[in-house]
Each structure stands twice: as structure tokens, then as C-alpha cells.
Amino acid sequence: MTGTPLATRETDPRPGDNAGAFSHGDRAAELLDWRPRHTIEDGIRDSLTWFATRDTILDPDTGA
């Protein structure tokens, strides 16, 4: 997605890490007729864009 390979390193879990935190929208779709508006790829791309530009938007001292 970024066009740049990322180095990874496997480590032991840290105290407080949440193992297996994930969700499925199947139940929400069934009960609420809910469907996601964005794919996971869209979400990752939007997050990468935000992190690349946020310092030009937000005040570095306050984060606002």
C-alpha cells in the first residue's frame, strides 16, 4: 500500500496488550442492517495520509 517494504520484528506481548481484539460486522448487519462504508484498505490508506499530514494541520504544542 505504501510502496515501501516495512521491517517487522516479532516480540513477546507487553503487559496490558489485548490479545485477539477484533470484531465482525455480521451481527450488526443482521440486527441493524449495518454495512461498513469503507474497506480495511481504505481505512489504512486514510490513516497513513492523516499521519503524513497531521503535523501541518495540528498545533504541535496542543494537538488541536
Three cell numbers, residue 39: 474497506
Intra-chain end-to-end CA distance of the chain, in Å: 28
Q: What is the pTM of this model?
A: 0.52
The total number of structural domains that make up the chain: 1
pLDDT value of position 63: 66
CB 35 within 8 A of CB 25: yes
What is the domain extent for residue 41? 26-57
Q: Is residue 12 part of a domain?
A: no
Torsion on CA atoms 38, 43, 44, 49, rounded to nearest 10: 120
Q: Is residue 48 part of a domain?
A: yes
Three-class DSSP category at 28: helix
Q: Is residue 36 part of a domain?
A: yes
Three cell numbers, residue 14: 507487553
Of 29 and 64, the structure prediction assigns the larger pLDDT to 29
For the stretch 21-60, pLDDT in tens is 677 788 889 999 999 899 989 999 999 998 888 888 887 7
